Amino acid sequence: MANQTVSAWVGDPHGEVDHPVADCPVEVTLHALRGRWTTLVVRELFDGERSFGDLAMALPALSDKVLADRLAQLVAAGVVTRVREPGWPSRVRYSLTPRGQGLRGVLEAMWAWGQDTVRSGTTR
């Protein structure tokens, strides 16, 4: 997760790390993607704007509460934009921010590594 407060990534020397601190970039990313279902919600949004109902339909096993939690988390992380349409019935449009689009690279890296791992049969 986190590293020490100051030094860079593999740019050692990284001194003692007493605690996984929140301002480590890796920690920040992990935090944004934290929790079950999160990456799936993001993936849905890679395809474009979605409403709450759209997402609920695409992820049927995901409860309203958890979906709302995830969306709030993603909004707080600056990954997703939430736009409430005025009127009735109420409708909310969720879409990725530019930063959210930037997650593509991260998820692709994860996909590639996981793919290799599965192929090699080193599943845990």
Partner DNA sequence: CAGTATCCGGAGAGATACTG
Partner DNA sequence: CAGTATCTCTCCGGATACTG
Amino acid at site 109: A
Toward DNA, which CB reaches closer, 92 or 110?
Answer: 92
Smallest distance from DNA to CB 45, Å: 13
Residue entry with tokens 């593509």: 104
Shortest Cβ 62–DNA spacing (Å): 6
Q: Which two tokens stand for residue 28?
A: 């920040």
| Region 84-123 residues binding DNA, contact defined as CB under 7 A | 84, 89-92, 94
C-alpha distances in Å from residue 10, one per residue of 14, 19, 87: 8, 18, 52
Binding to DNA in span 18-57, by CB under 7 A: 34-37, 51-54, 56
Smallest separation, CB 107 to DNA (Å):
17
In the complex, least distance from residue 26 CB atom to DNA, rounded to whole angstroms: 15
* Binding-site partner at residue 95 among a second copy, DNA, none, CB < 5 to 8 Å by type: none
Asked if 68 is part of the footprint of DNA (rule: CB under 7 A), the reply reads yes
In degrees and rounded to multiples of 5, residue 8 shows phi and psi of -90, -175
Contact 14, 7 (CB under 8 A): yes
Measured in degrees and rounded to the nearest 5, phi and psi for residue 66 equal -65, -40
